[in-house]
Structure 1
Amino acid sequence: MTPAPDLVDLRPGRQDDLEQCLGVWIEASAARDGRQVDGVAARARGKFDRTIAWTVAADRGGDVVGFAVGTPPGSGLASDPPGAAVLGLLAVAPRAQGAGLGRRLLRDVTGLLVREGYSRAVLHVLADNAGAVSLYERDGWVPWGDPVEHSLLRRDSQTYVRDLTLAVHHDVAGTSTPSGPRA
């Protein structure tokens, strides 16, 4: 059952959220791929060691139902734009999908990256993940370069970039708030 958006709070991620976040990652990846893939948790765990921005979505019971993690430049692919922070992980538990939580997490973590002084971010998404691709493109992310084969899943992955200085984020009420590096 999808929780109502007002029953989910976003907050900074903490070390004691790690195992729940990994559980969400495994569950969401298995739902996306139609099966659980060996190595998914280990690969994700390493990204938490380099976190510079971490947002968690927790229900009123405190259970993590989604999260997003940003990592420093150079922590993605060698072909990533220089100086771009990496949106390394974003996942919403299947039971919580469909209520706009992915968009809220995306906007919150990019806002954290802006506050950390980053003007550009990069992410990598499976090219056949239509829902995620649509989310990123609607939020202003644009393809960068040619697709490359995902090293674990052996499917095409597309790099996307976002100029964070031009970002305009909409809060839940629908008003616009510009975000960007402080002058």
Structure 2
Amino acid sequence: MGNELADEVHRRMIRHGSAEDIEECAALWVRACAARDGVAVAGVAERARPKFGHVESWIVAEEPGTGIVGFVLATKPQSGLPTDPPDAAVVSLLAIAPDAQGLGLGGTLLARVADALARRGHERAVLHVLADNHPAVRLYERQGWMPWGAPFPHSLLKRPTQTYLRDLGA
């Protein structure tokens, strides 16, 4: 199967992302954020695009005839916030198309990227989540992510944000 990772449960092709996917993933990120926030916020795509230049692991879920319906992007250690543990890879972006949410795809992608990071020798990973994004917080906690440090205001949205850390060896 080459670069593909079978995903029979979701009947989607799960594969590694590539440079040709950047714009489609950035557009999906904007749609998912607008659905989460109830409004499109200027600057979301511009903040996301540079993260694709620091890829440590990038996995996309694609439906035939539809395109990319979800993706997760992890970046190299020290590519997140200055307060992040310096050795932790950063799960920078996780987005699911609004009409594909609630079907377990986010959990599948998050588990796959954690496994990929562990295989690459990372002992832990970090991510940042809006504290009021309760579905995302539940997902992260179910998969073993733990709050780390004090909440802080999101730099663009100014909403409380929490860092989460996961031991990838567990």
Choose from 118, 124, 127 the match for 1:114: 118
Percent of residue pairs identical: 55
Partner SS state of residue 132, structure 2: coil
Report the counterpart of residue 137 of structure 1 in structure 2.
141
Please point out which of 156, 161, 165 is paired with 1:161: 165
Q: Which runs of 4+ in 1 moved over 4 A?
A: none
Cα distance in 1 for partners of 2:45, 2:131 equals 21
2:50 to 24, 38, 46: 46
Q: Corresponding residue for 1:175? A: none
SS at match of 1:24: helix
Partner of 1:69: 73
Tell me how far 1:5 sits from its aligned partner: 4.2
The alignment's C-alpha RMSD in Å is 1.2
1:90 equivalenced with 2:90 (yes/no): no
8 Å Cα contact 2:52/2:73 also seen in 1: yes
Q: Residue 55 of structure 2: SS of its match in structure 1?
A: coil
- Which of the numbers 9, 13, 27 marks the counterpart of 1:23? 27
TM-score with structure 2 setting the length: 0.93
Q: How many residues align?
A: 163
- Maintained 8 Å contact 1:5/1:101: no
Counterparts of 2:10 and 2:71 in 1: how far apart (Å)?
Answer: 16
Tell me, yes or no, if structure 1 residue 100 matches structure 2 residue 143: no
d(CA) in 2 for partners of 1:19 and 1:52? 18
Q: Is the 8 A contact 1:5 1:99 kept in 2?
A: no
Structure 2 gap segments, 5+ residues each: 1-7
Contact 1:5/1:100 (<8 A) preserved: no
SS of structure 2 residue aligned to 1:148: strand
1:115 and 1:135 map into 2 onto residues whose CA distance is 22
Alignment deviations for residues 81-116 of structure 1 (CA, whole Å, 9 cap, x no partner):
120000000000101111100000001111111121
Q: Which amino acid aligns with 1:114?
A: A
Give the counterpart letter for 1:76 in structure 2: G
